[in-house]
Structure 1
């Protein structure tokens, strides 16, 4: 069968089980867009390339399949770079397709030309350019496989405009799924003996790969062995927080007492993550312990310090193998006392409480300690939370429980702007779950345009915008290093709640049903719901109305600029 290389790329993605691509259209890859016209793949038309990339990253983290984004050359690729850096440092599988100038125009500084490998080679697992139409399917399959193999990460694929329209009779390749290795019995017996011999062992779980719910089984094993379980930064949906082994998270905003417990461990078993900069408080704690690393990455990238044993396994294959053993064999002579102590520390830290007096802003704006306690009660540990970066996220991390896997998408590299597109993608990928974006005013306006994508495609995220009129994280650093000299951190914001009312899909000029490129697919009309909350008492009723809204909703929460997250040593 003869078809264009662009259509073969789409057929390969479809064969590999890709359900959505997140795209900002460009004339450089028109033939791929044409292939998507009658494909089963849903083309999610985004409003900026950074948002498209973040949506693909969120899709990957929630589903376990590589997320796919498509952008055009030059300026489009530049905008998408932030998502590639995030996927690289976060170790998340993603494939970015980038339209390129025709081969005949290459190296002539033609319109929007740039060097794909020189831009992306330092932050991608592989950079591929499809210069041969007959290999278009093969290289697309390679990109998906490489993105998911070993330490997951982004792969960038260049699509020269003229190659895409060339015809080929190459068949659609089959993407073979490689099963992760299962640890040998001897490896696990050795690990169990190490745990049994330790006085203060601890598991540290993180990274991607927990979508199956295997974290609950690992937490049950740990609890039976009397071992506390920590989670890495923004990976604390790996285990249910109701587990008696749950000891809290490491990284920004963690409790001082949680970090102290991690630092005191004499055996650390990292599963799916590493002893990184963030987890170790800037390479300062947790380095003296005997260390076992469970990872598919033979290079152990991002891991600092000793490794006494490296077990090649995924979180799921490791858990399935380990839990075949009797957890009692790993207990040794320990009681549950230390595990209970570690769990109680985190429980006190996460307990709902007012925090206005602790931040010195009593009576000014909304008390976020109360507000996020209410949000946690309403969500019940079942929602998908998405985060960008900034101080505003710390209340969510501290007070909102996670009881189900694949319920947290946050930029572990600290990138701003992920919360809104992440929540849109979460709502599309998991329409059966509530998707909630937690962001500050600065974070929201970095990719708030993707609210329009939600309306266009029927996504229904809830967005919480915490507005203090400043870049709060930077202000906190300035107060530490340059007290009384604020510089470059003030912002002026719109009324975000009023802004939502502009997105009434029934009258917003959405593309007609006769235009298939709109990808409407029969989506019903949606009306935006916005609430502006200026006092603590207003938050609960506003949240209830937002949760009841049949469409995208936003709560604009005003706080005093001086409000900072509650102290890390506050556990009672």
Structure 2
């Protein structure tokens, strides 16, 4: 069957189970857009390439299948770079397709020409280009496989405009299977001995790949073995937060008590993640204990410091291996005191309560209301900055794949991720939490929610400034805060202008009614919380400080 290379690309995506692609259209890949016209794949038209990339990233994290974004040449690719960097540092599978200038025009500073390899070569797992029409499907199949295999990450594919329209009789390639490594029996025996012999072990779950019952199974096993389970930064949905073994998260905004336990633990068992700078208090904590790492990357690029055993496996394989050892074997002579101590610390830390700001909305109360009224199976998406920490602390997770946040700290992810999450899970409530600075970086993507019938709820915390940077300035340059003030609109009116529900809330008493009305609207909704300018997260020594002062006991 003869068809264009662009149509073969679309057929290959469909063969790989892709349900949605997030696009900002461009003349450089018109033939792919034409192929999508009659395809079962849903084409989600976005307003800016960074937003499209973040939607693809969210799709990848929530489904375990690489999310796909499509953008055009130089300017479009430049805007999409933020999503590629986030997917790279977050180890999340996504494929970015970039329309390119025709082959014949290369090397002449043609309109919007740029170097695909030069831009993305150090920030992606692979950079591929469709050079021959007959291989268009193979290149896409390779990209989808590479993005999902080993340590997941972004793959960038160049689509030259003239190649896309060439005809080919090449067949649609089938998906390549992703290898699932097994754990060596001798190594598993050594790991079992290390865990059984530990008096104060700490299991740390993180990364992507926590699908189905994997996290719940791990929590059940850990509880029976007396092992507390902490989560890596913005991976709190890895295990049910109601588990008696759950000890909270490490990284920005964590409880001081949990950070101090890194200095008390005698064994660290990482599953799905490694000892990164955020998790380890800026490369200062948790380097001395015996360390077992289970991650799908044989190079362990994101792990620093000691490794006594490295298991090349994702969460599902690692958890299955631990189950083969059994809880009794893993417990050894250890009691439950250590596990119960850490779990009790987290329960105290996560309880919402009034913080008594001098004016504006009390976020301690507001997020308590959200925790009460939002369904238990909610999906939470986050941007970056201080404003998100109330959500991390008080909006717990019981279901896997229910959190999308930029582990690399990229701003502007919350809204597009919430739009994608609402499309992936139309039967679940999706809530985005972001600050005023973060929101307007990609707030325009709310128009995509309205166009697509998605219904996320966006909570915007407005203190009229880049609050995270102000905190750093107050510490490093006391009395000399500058370059951080923001002039904000009425964000509720902004949402209403798109046709959704929007409400501005200036007092704590108004929060409950606003949340109830947003939930009842059954459309895209926004709740604008106006807070005191000096509001900062309470109860943590490291709300924004990568040095984590005060963590060491």
TM-score range, shorter chain: over 0.9
- From 532, 542, 552, the counterpart of 2:524: 552
The one-character-per-residue Cα deviations of 1:230-286 (angstroms, maximum 9, x if unpaired) are 100000100001101000100000011011112311110100001000000100100
Residues 141, 176 of structure 2: 8 Å contact kept = no
Residue 283 of structure 1 is matched in structure 2 by 283
Residue 442 of structure 1 is matched in structure 2 by 437
Instruction: Say if 2:93 is the partner of 1:101.
Output: no
| Alpha-carbon distance, 1:177 to partner | 2.0
The one-character-per-residue Cα deviations of 1:508-546 (angstroms, maximum 9, x if unpaired) are xxxxxxxxxxxxxxxxxxxx1111100111001110110
Instruction: Say if 2:508 is the partner of 1:536.
Output: yes
Q: Partners in 2 of 1:330 and 1:501 — Cα distance?
A: 55
Residues 250, 279 of structure 1: 8 Å contact kept = yes
Residue 199 of structure 2 is matched in structure 1 by 199
Residue 92 of structure 2 is matched in structure 1 by 92
**Structure 2 residue matching 1:324: 3-state secondary structure:** helix
Residue 510 of structure 1 is matched in structure 2 by none
Equivalent residues in 2 for 1:152-163, closer than 5 Å:
152-163=152-163
Equivalent residues in 2 for 1:240-319, closer than 5 Å:
240-319=240-319
The one-character-per-residue Cα deviations of 1:6-63 (angstroms, maximum 9, x if unpaired) are 0000000000000000000000000000000000100000000000000000000000
Residues 148, 178 of structure 2: 8 Å contact kept = no
| Alpha-carbon distance, 1:499 to partner | 1.3
Residues 137, 172 of structure 1: 8 Å contact kept = yes
Of residues 180-189 and 378-387 in structure 1, the stretch that sits farther from structure 2 once superposed is: 180-189
The one-character-per-residue Cα deviations of 1:370-426 (angstroms, maximum 9, x if unpaired) are 100111111253210000101000000011110110010000000000000000000
Instruction: Say if 2:474 is the partner of 1:483.
Output: no
**Structure 2 residue matching 1:59: 3-state secondary structure:** helix
Equivalent residues in 2 for 1:60-75, closer than 5 Å:
60-75=60-75
Residues 23, 70 of structure 1: 8 Å contact kept = yes
Residue 551 of structure 2 is matched in structure 1 by none
CA-based RMSD of the aligned residues comes to 1.2
**Structure 2 residue matching 1:182: 3-state secondary structure:** coil
TM-score relative to the length of structure 1 = 0.94
Residues 380, 401 of structure 1: 8 Å contact kept = no
**Structure 1 residue matching 2:238: 3-state secondary structure:** coil
Residues 266, 289 of structure 2: 8 Å contact kept = yes
Residue 6 of structure 2 is matched in structure 1 by 6
Q: Could you list the structure 1 runs, at least 4 aligned residues long, displaced by more than 4 angstroms after superposition.
A: none
Q: Partners in 2 of 1:263 and 1:77 — Cα distance?
A: 44
Residues 381, 400 of structure 1: 8 Å contact kept = no
The one-character-per-residue Cα deviations of 1:330-365 (angstroms, maximum 9, x if unpaired) are 111111011000000010000111112xxxx33x00
| Alpha-carbon distance, 1:501 to partner | 1.4
Residue 466 of structure 2 is matched in structure 1 by 471
Of residues 392-401 and 258-267 in structure 1, the stretch that sits farther from structure 2 once superposed is: 258-267
The one-character-per-residue Cα deviations of 1:116-138 (angstroms, maximum 9, x if unpaired) are 00000010011011111110000
Residues 149, 179 of structure 2: 8 Å contact kept = no
| Alpha-carbon distance, 1:184 to partner | 2.6
Equivalent residues in 2 for 1:87-166, closer than 5 Å:
87-166=87-166
Of residues 260-269 and 274-283 in structure 1, the stretch that sits farther from structure 2 once superposed is: 260-269
| Alpha-carbon distance, 1:178 to partner | 2.1
Residues 212, 316 of structure 1: 8 Å contact kept = no
Equivalent residues in 2 for 1:395-414, closer than 5 Å:
395-414=390-409
Of residues 155-164 and 188-197 in structure 1, the stretch that sits farther from structure 2 once superposed is: 188-197
| Alpha-carbon distance, 1:189 to partner | 2.3
| Alpha-carbon distance, 1:569 to partner | 5.7
The one-character-per-residue Cα deviations of 1:541-570 (angstroms, maximum 9, x if unpaired) are 110110111210000000011111113169
| Alpha-carbon distance, 1:302 to partner | 1.5
Q: Partners in 2 of 1:419 and 1:500 — Cα distance?
A: 15
Q: How many residues align?
A: 543
Residue 512 of structure 1 is matched in structure 2 by none
Q: Partners in 2 of 1:103 and 1:274 — Cα distance?
A: 42
Instruction: Say if 2:52 is the partner of 1:57.
Output: no
Of residues 176-185 and 202-211 in structure 1, the stretch that sits farther from structure 2 once superposed is: 176-185
Please list every run of 5 or more consecutive structure 1 residues that lacks an aligned counterpart in the other structure. 505-527
Instruction: Say if 2:411 is the partner of 1:416.
Output: yes
Residues 72, 98 of structure 1: 8 Å contact kept = yes
Residue 47 of structure 2 is matched in structure 1 by 47
TM-score relative to the length of structure 2 = 0.97
**Structure 2 residue matching 1:323: 3-state secondary structure:** helix
Residues 409, 422 of structure 1: 8 Å contact kept = yes
**Structure 1 residue matching 2:107: 3-state secondary structure:** coil
Instruction: Say if 2:176 is the partner of 1:181.
Output: no
Residues 459, 528 of structure 2: 8 Å contact kept = yes
Residue 536 of structure 2 is matched in structure 1 by 564
**Structure 1 residue matching 2:498: 3-state secondary structure:** coil
Query: Compared with structure 1, are the counterparts of its residues 94 and 131 closer, same or farther at alpha carbon in structure 2 (3 Å cutoff)?
Result: same
Q: Partners in 2 of 1:352 and 1:440 — Cα distance?
A: 19
| Alpha-carbon distance, 1:104 to partner | 0.5
Instruction: Say if 2:420 is the partner of 1:456.
Output: no
- From 481, 488, 492, the counterpart of 1:493: 488
Residue 373 of structure 1 is matched in structure 2 by 368
Q: Partners in 1 of 2:165 and 2:495 — Cα distance?
A: 41
Residues 213, 404 of structure 1: 8 Å contact kept = no
| Alpha-carbon distance, 1:213 to partner | 2.8
| Alpha-carbon distance, 1:176 to partner | 2.3
Q: Partners in 2 of 1:242 and 1:128 — Cα distance?
A: 44
The one-character-per-residue Cα deviations of 1:302-335 (angstroms, maximum 9, x if unpaired) are 2110111011111011112321332011111111
Residues 375, 429 of structure 2: 8 Å contact kept = no
Residues 257, 569 of structure 1: 8 Å contact kept = no
Q: Partners in 2 of 1:495 and 1:191 — Cα distance?
A: 56
